[in-house]
Amino acid sequence: MKAWATVVFAMTLASLAFGLAGERSFRVTLRVVDDEGKPVPKANARVSFEHVYATKESERVGASKGITDVDGRVTLEGKTGEASVGYDAEMSGHYQTWGLRYDFNGAKMFRWQPWNPTIEVLLKRIKNPVPMYAKRLALSLPKLDEPVGYDFVMGDWVAPHGQGKVADVTFVGKSHTEGDRKFDWQLQVTFLHPGDGIQRFKPDSESAVFRSTYEAPAEGYLSDWKLRRWRNGPVEPEQTTFDRKAGYYFRVRTELDQDGKVVKALYGKIYGDFFDMVYYLNPDGTRNMEYDSKRNLLKPAKPRDRDLYEVGP
């Protein structure tokens, strides 16, 4: 009898150990809303999770799927050995959101905690996408210590460094290097035309397809913007005002009336920072920032040019 009790006790300990170290159950409720905070019914929602003890790679990732109800909610559940799950949602007429992550804050016995939290998922509506000049830029200045112009419409440096015709913006880069990992790199961004300018904003998460506001701001543009990256030696950390997760709105080719009010202008946006970025310029004279990715006005130098075609809204 004692031997049997010992076996039962050992099995109980093993079961508890697996519960603590193995997979645990989770339950979450996704609430899908649009840009006005209204629920999105009949949206396709999904939670993805990892089976850490799967023997086949094809079985490693699991998913629980569902359709939102009239309140934009759907409850999904599963089991995972990781303390987090991924989630996403999509709906016709809305910009997709994917690759989002929710982290549990602990576990209690066989369940991840909190149990059944409500997670909000934003799906912005597709309103009025328009053709734009759009391009991905990952480059360096063709020359330092003197102004170099860039033409957003042509998508190129102005002569003599490229085929651009109008300097919508000019850049002056200065670089100073001294000794072991001691440097100072400065970039001045200047809009020379009255009324033109730039302002920084924080885009939505990279998990969202459409990351800006629907319209660029009407005011708040600065004619000059300065960026700097520097380091004072091998034991000092690099410091920078560059931010690759940043965004900018800009205004160019502005026409002002006699009172200094904007009569006409072209508005655009930038995801990223100079010069690792994607820019968009709307030619229709409105502040609309919804880009139709199937109608890029820049013509590629070669078929399926990644810098022009692989540019989302």
**pLDDT tens-digit map of 220-245:** 999 999 999 999 988 889 999 999 99
If pLDDT is split at 50, 70 and 90, which confidence band does 60 have?
confident
Mean pLDDT of 65-83: 97
User: CA 313, CA 306: separation in Å to the nearest integer?
Assistant: 15
pLDDT at residue 48 above 80? yes
- CATH code: domain 2-122 is 2.60.40.1120
- pLDDT tens column, 84-112: 999 999 999 999 988 899 999 999 989 99
Question: What whole-number percentage of the chain has pLDDT above 70?
Answer: 88
Q: What is the pLDDT of residues 136-161, one digit of tens each?
A: 998 899 999 999 999 999 999 999 99
With a cut of 50, say whether residue 120 has pLDDT above it. Answer: yes
Can you tell me the mean pLDDT for 36-54?
A: 92
- pLDDT bucket at 305, cuts 50 / 70 / 90: low
Instruction: List, in order, residues 6 or more apart from 168 with CB less than 8 Å away.
Output: 149, 150, 151, 152, 153, 191, 196, 252, 253
Domain range list for the chain: 2-122, 130-309
For the chain, percent of residues with pLDDT exceeding 90: 77
| Mean confidence (pLDDT) of the chain | 90
Question: What pLDDT, on the 0 to 100 scale, is given for residue 304?
Answer: 59
In this structure, what token pair is assigned to residue 145?
């210590």
Of 208 and 29, the structure prediction assigns the larger pLDDT to: 29
245: left (phi over 0), alpha (psi -120 to 50) or beta: alpha
Residue type, 152: F
Beta strand pairing status for 156-157 and 73-80? unpaired
